[in-house]
Amino acid sequence: MPILQCLKVLTCIPVMNEPDILVTMEYSEENENANVSILYGGDRLNIMEMKDNLSMKVLKGVEKQIQYEWNPEEKRGNRISMIVC
């Protein structure tokens, strides 16, 4: 199930003293895709740049599009947006 594989991306985020993670998911029956957005606090951390990351390797097998954004002005400045099939 692709949605469960998408959640594996959360295992890439390092241990935080006070976790601040927001995950939203939307599913479209029309195009049978799921939009997943993961926002998390802390310093800039683009998990797609981490090497030898099994979770990202699995995720890249099901995602159609994935994007990372960093906004230091926001409480949850790290954002991963993806479309999975």
pLDDT at site 13: 55
How many CA atoms within 13 Å lie on the side-chain side of 53?
17
In the chain, the number of structural domains is 1
Q: Each residue of 16-74: pLDDT tens digit?
A: 677 788 999 999 999 888 899 999 988 898 877 877 667 667 777 777 888 999 999 99
Predicted confidence band at 8 (pLDDT cuts at 50, 70, 90)? low
CATH number at residue 59: 3.30.1360
**Structural domain boundaries, residue 76:** 2-84
Predicted confidence band at 77 (pLDDT cuts at 50, 70, 90)? very high
Rounded mean pLDDT, 71-83: 93
By the 8 A CB rule, do 66 and 55 touch? no
**Angstrom distances, CA of residue 29 to CA of 21, 32, 40, 85:** 27, 5, 28, 11
